[in-house]
Amino acid sequence: MFQGILADLVHNLKKLPGIGNKSAQRLAMYIISIKKEKALQIADSIKTAVENYSNCSICNMLTENDPCDFCSDKSRSNKLLCIVENTQDIYLIEEIQEYKGKYYVLGNLLSPLDGIGPEQINFPRLINFIRSEDIEEIILALNPSAEGESTMNFLGSQLSKYVNKITRLSTGLPFGGDIEYTSSLTLRNAFKRRYSVKD
pLDDT, one tens digit per residue, over 84-129 is 999 999 999 999 888 999 999 999 999 988 889 888 898 999 999 9
- Considering the domain architecture, whether residues 78 and 169 belong to the same structural domain is answered as yes
pLDDT, one tens digit per residue, over 133-178 is 889 999 999 987 889 989 999 999 999 999 999 998 876 555 556 6
- Considering the domain architecture, whether residues 72 and 136 belong to the same structural domain is answered as yes
- Considering the domain architecture, whether residues 71 and 38 belong to the same structural domain is answered as no
Provide the domain limits for residue 81: 55-196
- Considering the domain architecture, whether residues 31 and 111 belong to the same structural domain is answered as no
Ramachandran quadrant class, 124 (left: phi over 0; alpha: psi -120 to 50; beta: rest): alpha
Number of domains in the chain: 2
- Considering the domain architecture, whether residues 63 and 141 belong to the same structural domain is answered as yes
- Considering the domain architecture, whether residues 37 and 89 belong to the same structural domain is answered as no
Residue 65: what are its φ and ψ, rounded to 5°? -115, 150
Percent of the chain, pLDDT > 90? 70
pLDDT score at 51: 95
Number of other CB atoms surrounding residue 135 within 10 Å? 22
The pTM of the whole model exceeds 0.85: no
Residue 160: what are its φ and ψ, rounded to 5°? -65, -15
